[in-house]
């Protein structure tokens, strides 16, 4: 399949199954003793306390891909990390739908758990991807910048 390690896509263009299959075919996967997956989904309770109706995710696609590529490059240079994929959906998403996939292959479970946590925290801080929530109480942009998170 030879899928790129990072991407920003419309819903349905990439699946978690695609990413797992791709990471398992990597030339260094024989070094891995663990593969971990993170799937961020649309929460049904909005930040304002209302019920989420939908979210809209927007990105500066080229800058987001550069940012995700930098995160992937940094994590790949860590001891124990064999491979990683980060793919983020944009557009309109409903409650329970997938927002982001991160798949990490590593020598040991500690390697993949640490890499996974760092990858999602950095993505939320660094990638130019914005979320607008539509709730039963209103609509607003959710800030992820400068330590302010959901």
Tokens of 93: 């998403």
Split at pLDDT 50, 70, 90, the class of 3 is low
What is this structure's pTM?
0.91
Span 103-126, pLDDT tens digits:
999 999 999 999 999 999 999 999
Rounded Cα gap, residues 64 and 81, in angstroms:
22
26 near 97, Cβ under 8 Å?
no
Strand partners, 120: none
CA dist 142 → 17, 21, 96, 133, 146 (Å): 29, 33, 18, 7, 12
pLDDT of 145 reads 43
CATH number of 6-142: 3.90.1170.40
Nearest alpha carbon to residue 85 among 124, 129, 119: 119
Contacts of 21 (CB under 8 A, 6+ apart): 1
Span 42-92, pLDDT tens digits:
999 999 999 999 999 999 999 999 999 999 999 999 999 999 999 999 999
- The count of residues in the chain is 150
pLDDT of 147 reads 38
Split at pLDDT 50, 70, 90, the class of 40 is very high
């Amino acid at each position: 399949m030879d899928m790129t390690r990072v991407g920003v896509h419309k819903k349905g263009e990439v699946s978690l199954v695609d990413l797992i299959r791709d990471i398992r075919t990597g030339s260094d996967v024989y070094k891995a003793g663990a593969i971990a997956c993170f799937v961020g989904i649309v929460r049904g309770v909005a930040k304002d306390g209302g019920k989420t109706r939908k979210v809209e995710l927007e990105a500066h696609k080229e800058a987001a891909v550069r940012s995700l590529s930098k995160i992937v490059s940094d994590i790949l240079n860590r001891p124990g990390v064999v491979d990683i994929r980060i793919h983020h959906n944009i557009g309109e998403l409903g409650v329970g739908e997938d927002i982001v996939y991160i798949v990490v292959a590593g020598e040991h479970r500690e390697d993949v758990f640490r890499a996974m946590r760092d990858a999602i925290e950095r993505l939320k801080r660094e990638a130019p991807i914005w979320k607008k929530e539509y709730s039963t109480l209103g609509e607003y942009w959710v800030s992820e910048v400068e330590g302010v998170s959901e």
